[in-house]
Structure 1
Amino acid sequence: MDVGDVVWSSKWVASLRAVGSAQGLRSVRSAWRRHRADAVALPRQGATRARVPGAAQGAEPEPGGGVVRFARSSLRVRVAAGGAVFCGWDGAGPEPSYALAGGVPEVDERAVLEPDTDGGWRVVSERVLVTVSRHGTVEFRTPGGVVLRRDLPPRWWEAPGGQAATGAAGAGRWMQRSEVAADARFFGLGGRAAGPRLRDGEYRLWNTDPGGSFEPGDDPLYITMPVQLVVADAGTHLAFHDNTWDGRVRLWEGEEGAGSGHDRPGRCEVRMDGGPLRSWVLVGTPARVLGGWAALTGGAAVPPAWALGYQHARWGFGTEQEVRRVAAGYRERGLALSALHLDIDHFRGHRVFTVDRERFADLPGLAEELRAQGTRLVSIVDPAVKAEPGLAVYDAGVRAGAFVKDARGREVRGEVWPGESVYPDFTDPKVRSWWGGLYEERLAQGFAGFWHDMNEPVSFAAFGDPTLPRSARHALEGRGGDHREAHNVYGMQMARAGYEGLCALRPGERPFTFSRSGWAGMQRYGGTWSGDVATGWPGLRASLALVLGLGLCGVPYSGPDVGGFTGSPSPELYLRWFQLGSYLPLFRTHAAIAAGRREPWEFGAEVLEHARAALRERERLLPYFMTLAHLAHRTGAPYVRPVWWRSPEDRALRDCEDAFLLGDALLVAPVLERGADRRAVRLPRGRWYDTATGRAYEGPGQVLLDAPLSRVPVLARAGAVIPVAGAEGGVELEVWAPAPGRTGSGVLVPDAGDGWEQPPVVRFSTRWREGVVEVEREGAAEVGHRVRLLGG
């Protein structure tokens, strides 16, 4: 047992107290079973030989680029039509890949491979210049020749028996070091509790349930992705290593004028335990880079309109009567409630796709009753199925051959909430189809949305890694392989199974699904949430870091457990968390079974009054949120953006982590510290209006704004046109006057319902003309919406 095992032991012993000593003992047995399975089935890592590419020996042009051959390896460089650059070593191609949407993108026929001056080669294209040195260093440059990223020659360690790490199923390890500009800042790598800017340190690429709860220092968490977004003065680029194996990323920020006056570049080291060495790089503005990433990995699913409203969840709604009581509490106090979420306690003995009929005698009736009041029911869905002959889901899965097997062909069993359980193999298309069909039972119960949990996947373990044995066998779309390759995409493929199943069962409706675990491309199947963030001010700060970081990885719909998952927040902490959540895509309160209540009225009259104001503002902004959802799907731009989004060259903004842009129009500065009633806000360039006072401020710069308990500072960009809900229904346009001599703009994407219609983007422009602010709609003489002018 190593140090890591000891850490896991203490966390899981603490987290399993709630389920009793019997399950705790079974978790010990499960851990030993996993340990023995891997000891038998996986080869021991002994001394291995390292190799590097060696000297270049020639090159062969191909459409969009070509192949450069070295003494001991080869490198394929290919530029896609949208400007993304693929690099594959050792014969690795773009597919098979779980990240890509719609297959390999078409190549840029204009990109050409040609000799370079130093004996290397270069690929010239419109948006990026790629140079390959004679020893295997790969540089990505702007069209003007400025280096954005330098990948040094990789190094491989051959697997036992001399097998090299070639192809998606290769077992050899590899490492690649890279350099970026001295002023560059790193973002991304999935959901990280500290950030969104990633400091010097090591980050693991292995989706992990941290056990109970987490704070900013905990890493890794539920969603890890080998996606780096790097922002520097010279430009922004995204680097994605398309490899699902366990790995580690080590980052060192650069320093300008280091040592003897020379810049020290920023550095990155990626180490993977196996799989192919292949990557994609995109360059340009942040908007262009995220747009290219969305084109490569798929547009984000647009949630139904109701899923952009406020939602309430709890582990511990014991009965239908409790659910009705909570819903009535919101209704009686005039608080809008879009959805109520039922956790595992509504299942029969925690068995997925079942209902405890004693406590929920008429779930369809309850769902219909709540829906008539404007509130949907959302069901948790866990992947683990209790290994119980006679249980319909288990028996059907056995007949379908759906469950993950070990190297001997036996079911892999783990310990989860229902007890000893088995796990569907979501990397098998037939299993995904079977699992997707099971949601018919959930729809019949009246559920309108689905919350995928515990899908890292988790198997309770008293020591070691709380997941399946690494030797467990998976289909991997027919290629075959083990859990080392399948682990990080397990949750994403569960989300895929649910999303595609719901599309087949209800083809006229957009599904609402969100998943605790996932990987690059998961946005195609819905969103995510923070997971079990600890109650406390550090947890509040981590909530914002996670949403911002995931958005920069292409996952725009997310949010935290408002109030934190554990403990009992103080009234002030709860209110500040509620205010932050009201400006995030997924606005949901949630708590553990032993934690304090999360209904706004439980914290006193003052908190209730201020929470009501935050909720009303969220309802007013719903047309804007719907617009941002459609734009995220079409352009890749997240709803919640870092303040440097339009000004990445502003270094002070690159270090700002306590505020964010909601779309392009609003700057939100949440209160993240106890007792604060004022806070400093750093402004991007341009004029900004305090939406509470109407006062104008000029950026770039920093201002000190009031932040009473009743609200958090929110500023509107001068010239912005924001679609909001009208007081008498319909959509109004809230227009903030442009600065003198300047123009402004805004967009509206009206949502016709919860179906698949793609409404047109309506664009607006604003300008001063003869002392009056004019609002024009693109291609039309009249606006067609009520306009309210503010500022100026």
Structure 2
Amino acid sequence: MDWTMKSIQYAPNAITGQVDSLGDEFSFEFNILAGNNVRFRLHEKTLLHPRYEAKFSIETLETAVYDHQKKDGLEIVTFGSSELLIAYAPFSFEFKVNGKSQIAFNKNGYFYYEPYRAESKIPEFAVVKEGEADEKLNEIKTKIGKDLGSESFGGKTDSKPRGASSIGFDITFPNSKHVFGIPEHATSYSLKSTRGSGAEYTEPYRLYNLDVFEYELDNPMALYGAVPFMLSHKVGSSAGFLWLNSAEMWIDVEKSTDPSVKTHWMAESGMVDLFFFLGPTQNGIFNSFTKITGRPQLPQQFATTYHQCRWNYNTEEDALEVDSNFDLYDIPYDVLWLDIEHTDGKRYFTWDKVKFPHPKEMQNKLANKGRKMITIIDPHIKKDDNYHVSKKAKELDIFVKNTDGSTFDGHCWPGDSNWIDYTNPKGREYWAEQFLYKNYEGSTPSLYTWNDMNEPSVFTGPEVTMPKDLLHYENVEHRDIHNTYGMLQHRSTFEGHLKRSDNKDRPFILSRAFFVGTQRYGAIWTGDNTGEWEHLSMSIPMLLSVSIAGITFCGADVGGFFLNPDAELLVRWYQLGALQPFFRAHAHIDTKRREPWLFGEPYTSLFREAVIRRYKLLPYIYTLFSEAHLTGNPVMRSMMQEFPDNELTFGMDDQYMFGQALLVKPVSKAGQKSVEVFLPQESIWYDYDTFELAKPKANLIEVETPLDKIPVFMRGGCIIPRKDRQRRSSQLMKKDPYTIIVALDSRLNASGSIYVDDGSSFEYQSGDYINSKFEFKDNTLSAKHLPLSTPMDVKGDFNVKIERIVIVGYSNEPAAIKNSNGKDLFFGTKKVGDCFTVTIKNPEVLIGDEWSIKFKGNSKL
């Protein structure tokens, strides 16, 4: 389609104008946003039907000042070190940072917008001239342009009463070789090409939330979640792009030898509502993205621990025996989960009175050990007038509708079911009220929630989901809101937990479906994976992709949902899962039981060691979650994020960084005796288990991997807070002392931080927390309060002592170590490889105080 800009106007908060194409008139608006970001929206001037705006995903927008001029036939908008260059004909624009092109819109002429039309006014669509686009694009445009009537697929008919309303355009990332993101797909972190001579897939990446049974790996097929966000990175700069649209979407990726990455974005409906993130750093983009779409929730401490789940623990006795066995076998855990069989006939917010006759007592028995319980609450509501949730929802008229206005009926776990319309404020309010203790009988303050099947899954629907022509609040078609449905259930559940605690208790909600902004409401997982080595490996790129899209609290079912992994695979998966953001074992109802003690020795001890490693690292992990909450920085990070100028890391997704300090490389094959690990030469590295200085050759080191060993390396220059005393749950660790691990870099420097609060409430928002920076510099280890964190703010009792400080990477023994008062501190040394490890026992300092410790007589590596 030919696009021409007819006018442009400048105002302090917006740049507006008009464009036309094939006789259709459109208005546009640019907003220059704080943080080096730009929003672009385009609207039809005359609307036959309203276009749906994905308004639930945006939280904070702050505009920035700009200058403008017209030069060489272009409108040039300048803000900071960035420029927006707008061309009149054909209408297109690009962004430059420090004079270098970062991202371009409609550079290849693929911009296509199909207004809603009365059937008598369908125009003949112009064929794109040769050289402007390829034959495939012409075919798509011609086909879509004539496709106003109903269509059928797989025996299901979509009536399409409003006709076609598709949108497409191209986004180009000049001088880049890699793009990342657009989760959720079971594919590599660096997205593979779908077009061009080097194409590795024959279809575009699809974003359409679906309940996919035994999903395929290395495939661009749609899965459970959709975030239309893409990141590009090259040495020196990064750029990001978000299309805020919750309709079905397809994205082609073509990597050229220019180099550049050309992407073609196509959606069935929705709006042109685009965000451009100009960085220039990855961390800056993550910060801006989550400022606009919402910060990741700060989870409760228990949520960051180990979770035990399967479909299903069958009775109260079964559940409590599992709980007791964790104590018997001395394995810590915090959360026991119940799947759909705990309910009365799959009626959510109820209990099977035969299998679970005393739910409160059961929960309280766990709570007495500092543990929680989680029950599944799916969005399908059993059609039953004797079921209070169904009856009241029917009276309130808050179910999703058919095209004739009647309530939509479908089939899911309970049989005939209806679905709450979460786009309706009354629907969200009603759902939230179900979590009040008076409504959810048998629930207690230690019970939290799991939202599954919320793509939504409809067994009798097209592609196992809702028909697209169903109607939601304000007469919006399901096709327009589909990808946001699960997020809105997640949100409503979150709000219900806030209601029940009077906004005092942080909710924990796990969701399978997700969209832009899901991070505000809790965690997600990668759905129904399989107990195979390939799925263990695929968890890394899948979680990295989700993490950069704002959803930093994410995980994969440890052991795989389907099949029966052998003991070796399960051990390797526990070792990996313990070092990923969300750590939960889960399994299908038809699999063999696989609780950690069932495999016998040596495996039970190996499972225990993996879980204990997680618990020791909880102070470090919780600090990472607080950083994600404040800045959007992922907990689980690509090697490229931490080493952005090392091109060898750009496509790497078989290892990753867990925060800034820990590098993790899984054992991903059966019987693997050793693993090659890439250790970037920008840092020095220590084996996490032995504290031995690594000696890579050309960035590579071969690590032997007996069954009790997963390669984990500490990055020199980092400080890691831990709690090394073993307890049954994290709640019982609260007053335990800390151990501080200091991994020196080649200059004998190191830094790190710790965040501590009560682990459960919102009191941190009133200053009740500790946030301190540790630094080793000039032979002194110090702790200082970070801004907005002072002792007078802290009301909690979590300011406990440090019992041990371990300095890793000395080349000889220090002569003396003194505290701030000049008192000599007792220490011991141990030769590890070519270096010494120095351990100070009882340094007589508290985690929340400011202090310094002076080292004398050390020398550089």
TM-score of the superposition, structure 1-length normalised? 0.87
User: Which of 1 and 2 has higher RCO (CA within 8 Å, sep 6+)?
Assistant: 1
1:788 paired with 2:737, answer no
CA displacement 1:192-251 (0-9 Å, x = unmatched) = 211222111211110011124554436211001211111122411110001111110011
Q: Which of 182, 185, 190 is the equivalent residue of 1:197?
A: 190
Distance of aligned partners of 1:181 and 1:676 in 2 relative to their CA distance in 1, 3 Å threshold: farther
Mapped to 1, the partners of 2:770 and 2:240 lie a distance apart of 27
Aligned 8 A contact 1:223 1:517 in 2: yes
CA shift at 1:627, angstroms?
A: 0.8
State the SS of the aligned residue for 1:90.
strand
For 1:301-700, list aligned pairs within 5 A. 301-440=297-436, 441-442=439-440, 444-446=442-444, 448-461=447-460, 464-475=462-473, 479-506=474-501, 507-684=503-680, 685-697=682-694
For 1:166-185, list aligned pairs within 5 A. 172-185=165-178
State the Cα RMSD in Å.
2.5
CA displacement 1:572-630 (0-9 Å, x = unmatched) = 11111111110112111001100122211222311111111111111101111111111
**2:153 corresponds to which residue?**
none
Mapped to 1, the partners of 2:338 and 2:39 lie a distance apart of 43
Mapped to 2, the partners of 1:163 and 1:600 lie a distance apart of 63
1:157 paired with 2:107, answer no
State the SS of the aligned residue for 2:607.
helix
1:743 paired with 2:749, answer yes
CA shift at 1:53, angstroms?
A: 1.7
Moved more, 349-358 or 702-711: 702-711
Mapped to 2, the partners of 1:668 and 1:592 lie a distance apart of 28
Aligned 8 A contact 2:340 2:376 in 1: yes
Aligned 8 A contact 2:206 2:220 in 1: no
Distance of aligned partners of 1:58 and 1:484 in 2 relative to their CA distance in 1, 3 Å threshold: same
Aligned partner letter, 1:133? A
Mapped to 2, the partners of 1:98 and 1:702 lie a distance apart of 47
Mapped to 2, the partners of 1:180 and 1:292 lie a distance apart of 19
Mapped to 2, the partners of 1:67 and 1:163 lie a distance apart of 28
CA displacement 1:641-661 (0-9 Å, x = unmatched) = 101112222221011111111
Aligned partner letter, 2:467? P
For 1:47-86, list aligned pairs within 5 A. 51-54=1-4, 56-72=5-21, 73-86=26-39
Moved more, 619-628 or 683-692: 683-692
Aligned 8 A contact 2:44 2:115 in 1: no
State the SS of the aligned residue for 1:352.
coil
**1:139 corresponds to which residue?**
94
CA shift at 1:698, angstroms?
A: 6.7
CA displacement 1:487-518 (0-9 Å, x = unmatched) = 11000000010001111111210000010001
Aligned 8 A contact 1:216 1:538 in 2: no
Aligned partner letter, 1:199? K
**1:716 corresponds to which residue?**
714
Count of paired positions = 722
1:730 paired with 2:736, answer yes
CA shift at 1:480, angstroms?
A: 3.1
CA shift at 1:101, angstroms?
A: 3.8
For 1:91-240, list aligned pairs within 5 A. 96-98=53-55, 100-102=57-59, 105-108=61-64, 110-117=65-72, 119-134=73-88, 135-152=90-107, 153=109, 154-161=111-118, 162=121, 172-201=165-194, 202-217=204-219, 219-240=221-242
Mapped to 1, the partners of 2:213 and 2:602 lie a distance apart of 34
1:764 paired with 2:773, answer yes
State the SS of the aligned residue for 1:561.
coil
Aligned 8 A contact 1:667 1:715 in 2: yes
CA shift at 1:149, angstroms?
A: 4.0
Aligned 8 A contact 1:341 1:378 in 2: yes
**1:752 corresponds to which residue?**
758
CA displacement 1:735-780 (0-9 Å, x = unmatched) = 33422436321111102230012255634343453xx453342579
Distance of aligned partners of 1:599 and 1:213 in 2 relative to their CA distance in 1, 3 Å threshold: farther
CA shift at 1:443, angstroms?
A: 7.1
Aligned 8 A contact 1:214 1:534 in 2: no
Aligned 8 A contact 1:141 1:149 in 2: no
State the SS of the aligned residue for 2:229.
strand
Aligned partner letter, 1:69? Q
Mapped to 1, the partners of 2:701 and 2:173 lie a distance apart of 32
Mapped to 2, the partners of 1:371 and 1:345 lie a distance apart of 22
TM-score of the superposition, structure 2-length normalised? 0.80
Distance of aligned partners of 1:696 and 1:116 in 2 relative to their CA distance in 1, 3 Å threshold: farther
**2:277 corresponds to which residue?**
282
State the SS of the aligned residue for 1:434.
helix
Mapped to 2, the partners of 1:145 and 1:740 lie a distance apart of 35
Mapped to 1, the partners of 2:748 and 2:9 lie a distance apart of 52
Mapped to 2, the partners of 1:281 and 1:218 lie a distance apart of 24
Mapped to 2, the partners of 1:635 and 1:733 lie a distance apart of 26
State the SS of the aligned residue for 2:525.
coil
Aligned partner letter, 1:157? E
CA shift at 1:545, angstroms?
A: 2.1
Mapped to 2, the partners of 1:218 and 1:573 lie a distance apart of 26
Aligned partner letter, 1:659? Q
Moved more, 345-354 or 642-651: 642-651
Mapped to 1, the partners of 2:536 and 2:560 lie a distance apart of 7
Aligned 8 A contact 1:213 1:566 in 2: no
Aligned 8 A contact 2:182 2:230 in 1: yes
Mapped to 1, the partners of 2:405 and 2:659 lie a distance apart of 51
CA shift at 1:144, angstroms?
A: 3.3
Aligned 8 A contact 1:304 1:754 in 2: yes
CA displacement 1:412-440 (0-9 Å, x = unmatched) = 01110000100000011111010011112
Calculate percent identity across the aligned residue pairs: 26
Mapped to 2, the partners of 1:538 and 1:74 lie a distance apart of 49
State the SS of the aligned residue for 2:740.
strand
CA displacement 1:262-301 (0-9 Å, x = unmatched) = x242110001111111200112211110001110011111
Aligned 8 A contact 2:642 2:657 in 1: no
Greater share of helix: 1
Moved more, 64-73 or 779-788: 779-788
State the SS of the aligned residue for 1:634.
helix
Distance of aligned partners of 1:95 and 1:482 in 2 relative to their CA distance in 1, 3 Å threshold: closer
Give the structure with higher Rg (CA): 2
Aligned partner letter, 1:716? M
Aligned partner letter, 2:102? V
Aligned partner letter, 2:205? Y
